[in-house]
Structure 1
Amino acid sequence: MAGLGVFGADEEVGRDLAAVDWASTPLGPPGTWPQSLHTAVSILLSSRFAMWMAWGPELTFFCNAAYRRDTLGRKYPWALGRPASEVWAEVWTDAGPRIESVLTTGSATWDEALLLFLERSGYPEETYHTFSYSPLRDDDGVPVGMLCVVSEDTKRVIGERRLETLRDLGADPGVVRGEQEILASAGRQLERNRRDLPFTLTYLFEDGTARLAATTGIAREHPAAPAVLPPHDPDRVWPSTALGKGEAVLVDLDRAPFTGLPAGDWAEPPEQALVVPLLQQGSAPNGFLVAALNRYRPLDEGYRSFVELVAGHVAAEISSARSYQAQQRRAEELAELDRAKTAFFSNVSHEFRTPSR
Structure 2
Amino acid sequence: MPADQFFPGGGELAIRMRAFDWSHTTLGDPARWPSNLRVALGICLTSRFPMQVWWGPDLTLLYNDAYVAFLGRTKHPGALGRSGRVVWAEVWDTIGPMIEHVFTTGTASWSEDIPMVFDRELRREEVYVTFSFSPIFDDDRRVAGLFCACTETTEKLISARRLDTLHRLGIESVEASSLAGTCDAIASVLQANPRDVPFATLYLCPEDSLEAKAVAWVGTSAETSSLPAVVSLAEDDPESTWPLARALRERTPIELGDLPAREVQLAAPAWPEAVTQALVVPLRAANVDRPTGILVIGVSPRRPLDAGYRTFIELVTHHAGTAIAAHERMLDSASRRAQDQFLTLLGHELRNPLSPILTTLQVMRMTSPSPEVDLVERQARHLMRLVDDLLDVSRLARGTVELEMQPMELAGIVDRAVELSRELIAQRNQHIVVAVPRRDLRVTIDGERMSQVIANLVSNASKFSDAGSKITVEATAVGDDVRISIRDEGFGIPAEMLDRVFEPFVKQPGSLARPVGGLGLGLSITRSLVELHGGRVEVHSEGRGRGSEFVVVLPRTLGPAIPEVETPPPPPMKAKRSTPNGKRVLIVEDNDDAARSLRTAVEALGYIVELAHDGPVALQAAKA
Q: TM-score, normalised by structure 1?
A: 0.87
Q: Equivalent residue of 2:328, what SS?
A: helix
- C-alpha displacement at 1:45, in angstroms? 1.2
2: CA distance, partners of 1:134 / 1:3: 26
In structure 2, the CA distance between the partners of 1:190 and 1:15, relative to structure 1 (3 Å rule), is same
Bigger CA drift: 230-239 or 12-21?
230-239
What percent identity do the matched residue pairs reach? 38
Question: Is the CA contact (8 Å cut-off) linking 2:174 and 2:323 kept in structure 1?
Answer: no
Distance 1:301 1:109, change over 3 A: same
Q: Is the 8 A contact 2:11 2:65 kept in 1?
A: no
Structure 1 283/25 Cα, relative in aligned 2: closer, same or farther at 3 Å? same
**Amino acid across the alignment from 2:282:** P
1:249-288 alignment runs, 5 A limit: 249-252=254-257, 253-259=259-265, 261-280=266-285, 281-288=287-294
Question: Counterparts of 1:7 and 1:238 in 2: how far apart (Å)?
Answer: 56
For residue 10 of structure 1, report the CA deviation from its aligned partner: 4.6
Mapped pair 1:4 → 2:4: yes
Letter paired with 2:240: R
Q: Find the aligned partners of 1:141 and 1:134 in 2 and give their Cα distance.
A: 14
Partners of 2:275 and 2:144 lie apart in 1 by: 42
Aligned to 1:343: none
Distance 1:30 1:95 in 2: 28
- Write the letter of the residue equivalent to 2:278: A
The total of aligned residue pairs comes to: 328
Task: Work out whether 1:217 is the aligned partner of 2:219.
Answer: yes
CA distance in 2, matches of 1:248, 1:265: 25
TM value normalised by structure 2 = 0.51
- Structure 1 residue 223 displacement after superposition: 4.7
Q: Distance between the aligned counterparts of 1:94 and 1:159, measured in 2?
A: 24
Cα deviation 1:251-284 (Å, max 9, x = unaligned): 121235512x121211212110111101143422
Contact 1:224 1:237 in 2 (8 A): no
Per-residue deviation, 1:11: 3.6
Structure 2, gaps ≥5 residues long? 338-624
> Matched residues in 2 for 1:45 and 1:330: separation?
67
* Matched letter for residue 151 of structure 1: T
Confirm or deny: 8 A CA contact 2:61 2:79 kept in the other structure: yes
Secondary structure of the residue aligned to 2:62 is strand
User: 8 Å contact 1:3–1:18 — kept in the other structure?
Assistant: yes
Paired residue secondary structure (1:212):
strand
Q: Deviations over 1:32-83 (max 9, x none)?
A: 1111111111121122211011001100000011112x31221222111110
Deviation readout 1:129-175 (Å, 9 max, x if unpaired): 00011111123221021111101101101000000000011124856
Q: Which amino acid aligns with 2:21?
A: D
The amino acid of 1:236's aligned partner reads S
Q: Contact 1:219 / 1:225 at 8 angstroms: preserved in 2?
A: no
Deviating beyond 3 angstroms after TM superposition, the runs of 4 or more aligned structure 1 residues are 172-176
Secondary structure class of the residue paired with 1:112? strand
Residues 129 and 150 in structure 2, CA contact (< 8 A), matched pair in contact too: yes
Does residue 240 of the first structure (1) align with residue 222 of the second (2)?
no
Q: Residue type matched to 1:242 in 2? A: R
Distance 1:246 1:71 in 2: 38
User: 1 CA distance for matches of 2:176 and 2:118?
Assistant: 45
Q: Who is 2:327 aligned against?
A: 321
Corresponding residue SS for 1:304: helix
Report the secondary structure of 1:270's partner residue. coil
DSSP 3-state at the match of 2:151: strand
* CA deviation vs aligned residue, 1:216-272 (integer Å, no higher than 9, x gap): 11121225232112233222342112122321111121235512x121211212110
Distance 1:102 1:18, change over 3 A: same
Alpha-carbon shift at residue 321 of structure 1 (Å)? 0.9
1:57 has 2:62 as partner:
no
SS of 1:171's partner is helix
The alignment status of 1:109 with 2:114, answered yes or no, reads: no
1:114 Cα deviation from its structure 2 partner? 0.6
**Using the alignment, how far apart are the partners of 2:12 and 2:255 within structure 1?**
39
Distance in structure 1 (CA, Å) of the matches to 2:330 and 2:261: 41
**2:385: which partner in 1?**
none
RMSD: 2.0
Looking at structure 1, the residues matched to 3 and 316 of structure 2 have their Cα atoms a distance apart, in angstroms, of 56
Alpha-carbon distance in structure 1 between the residues aligned to 2:167 and 2:122: 33
Name the SS for the 2:284 alignment partner: strand
Tell me what 1:155 maps to.
155
SS state of the match for residue 205, structure 2?
Answer: strand
Relative to structure 1, is the Cα distance of residues 143 and 157 closer, same or farther in structure 2, using a 3 angstrom cutoff?
A: same
Residue 95 of structure 1: aligned partner: 95
2: CA distance, partners of 1:140 / 1:174: 67
Are 2:228 and 1:230 equivalent residues in the alignment? no
Change (3 A) 1:12 1:271: same
The answer for the alignment partner of 2:70 in structure 1 is 71
Aligned match for 1:296, one of 291, 302, 306: 302
Contact 1:223/1:258 (8 A) holds in 2:
no
Which consecutive residues of structure 1, in runs of 5 or more, have no partner in the other structure? 332-357
Distance 1:11 1:161 in 2: 35
- Comparing 248-257 and 81-90, the one that deviates more: 248-257
Q: Deviations over 1:282-301 (max 9, x none)?
A: 42212200110111111111
